[in-house]
Amino acid sequence: MGNGIGGKKKILPVLTAAALIGSLLTGCGSVAEASSGNEFMGAASATVRFKVGTTTAPEGHYVKGLQEMQRLLEKYSDGEMTLDIYPNSELGNERDMMESVGLGIQEMALVSTGPFPNFCPDWSVLDLPYLFEDAQEAYRKLDGENGQALLDELSKIRIKGIGFWENGFRQLTNDSVEIRTPEDLKGIKVRTMENTIHMATYQELGASPTPMAWSEIFTALQQGTVDGQENPIAIIDSAKVYEVQHYCSMLNLFYSPCVLIINEKLYNNFTAEQKEAFDRAAEEAKVWQREYSQSYNEEGLKHMQEQGVIITEVNQEEWIEATKGVYEDVEKFGLSQEFVDTWTAD
Ligand code: EAX
């Protein structure tokens, strides 16, 4: 039994090993348990089930995309395979779930790329500010050979990266001041994901970044541990962040993909038919989820304004200029300039 994704983990208890072997011996996924009738559980009749976790709200674009994949997977596998979806960090935070998937304790997860650089440094290239001009450029590069190379890297932590879905362009919320220019950000305590480039970028802008798991955000905002947070509109709206944040500045500072991952041994144990059904359902659900995410952005902004949120458009050039320093020493993030150039080239 490996030492787990972090490499520093003690050997997990035999129970975990048994869980891994048990789930692998069934060929794919956890053996069918009659579904609890909860709307996120797949068809009770499916005999091969995959537990898939996400930190996001049931009404959000991650879960909607997973429900679409659940429908397609049941269709393409003639009812044999399904997803059992666990929203709201029920199976742990994004880093926990990544480790559980690598160990085979949990079959799947749909997570942002935030924690990935802790295990695969090249992934931090996706955290660079203003890396992509728009979603179409993001899709083209993430679905191309550069993105596939990142997905293939996950094999070293026993994860099969299936594909890049969409979290979206990250916007900044806070509850005390309208933020229009980098100057307005000075001293603002911003919750960031647990990754060094996001933190370095907010430091470059004069803010005070505080990394924490998404599940801790509401307590932190209510207790004033942080003044603001940054996420795509679909997350801000579906998680009702607007209830505790009065301002939203449309920075588009980072484009945040999310990644559908599955335990690699599980995936490699698929029969040819199971693999065909799974890959087809995942690919079609990816396209559907990106479209859903884009439409949610417009609807979510309108809904937030109806809730009284002040939406501030900013001068993007000014922010791009203010974050250029992050690109001056990429080696400190474990990246080579040559590698970054392969992502910034047209
Ligand atoms: O993946 O932690 C974050 O801000 C992520 O965007 C969120 O968990 C959805």
pLDDT given for residue 114 in this prediction: 87
C-alpha 151 – ligand 1 centre gap (Å)? 19
Which residue, by CA, sits nearest to atom 1 of ligand 1?
A: 112
Mutate which of 94, 95, 190, 296 for ligand 1 pocket (most atoms within 8 A of beta carbon): 94
pLDDT given for residue 195 in this prediction: 86
Question: What are the 10-residue block averages of pLDDT along the chain, 346 residues in total?
Answer: 40 42 46 56 97 96 98 98 97 96 97 92 97 98 98 97 98 96 96 94 97 94 95 96 96 98 98 98 98 95 97 98 96 96 93
Q: Does this model's pTM top 0.75?
A: yes
Choose among 124, 126, 110: nearest CA to 60.
Answer: 110
C-alpha 246 – ligand 1 centre gap (Å)? 20
Q: Which CATH class is domain 170-255+308-329?
A: alpha beta
Q: Quick one: fold of 8-168+257-298?
A: D-Maltodextrin-Binding Protein; domain 2 (3.40.190)
Q: Which atom of ligand 1 is nearest to the CA of 170?
A: 6
pLDDT given for residue 29 in this prediction: 54
**Residue 18 and residue 12 in contact, taking contact as beta carbons nearer than 8 Å:** no
Residue that has been written with the tokens 């429900």 in this structure? 67
C-alpha 193 – ligand 1 centre gap (Å)? 7
Cα(169)–Cα(255) distance, integer angstroms: 4
Cα(188)–Cα(146) distance, integer angstroms: 35
What does 23-90 look like in DSSP terms, one character per residue? HHHTSSSEEP----S-TTS--TT-SEEEEEE-SS-TTSHHHHHHHHHHHHHHHHTTTSEEEEEE-TTT
C-alpha 55 – ligand 1 centre gap (Å)? 7
Residue ranges covered by each domain of the chain: 8-168+257-298, 170-255+308-329
Helix axes of 135-142 and 272-306: crossing angle, nearest 10 degrees: 160
What does 146-179 look like in DSSP terms, one character per residue? HHHHHHHHGGGGTEEEEEEEEEEE-EEEESS---
Question: Count H helices, E strands: the chain?
Answer: 12, 12
Choose among 120, 190, 142: nearest CA to 335.
Answer: 120
List residues bridging with 164 in a β-sheet: 259
List residues bridging with 210 in a β-sheet: 191
pLDDT given for residue 22 in this prediction: 47
pLDDT given for residue 31 in this prediction: 40
Residues with CB under 6 A from ligand 1: 55-56, 94, 111-112, 114, 167, 193, 214, 231, 235, 256, 258
Q: Which atom of ligand 1 is nearest to the CA of 56?
A: 9
Which residue, by CA, sits nearest to atom 3 of ligand 1?
A: 214
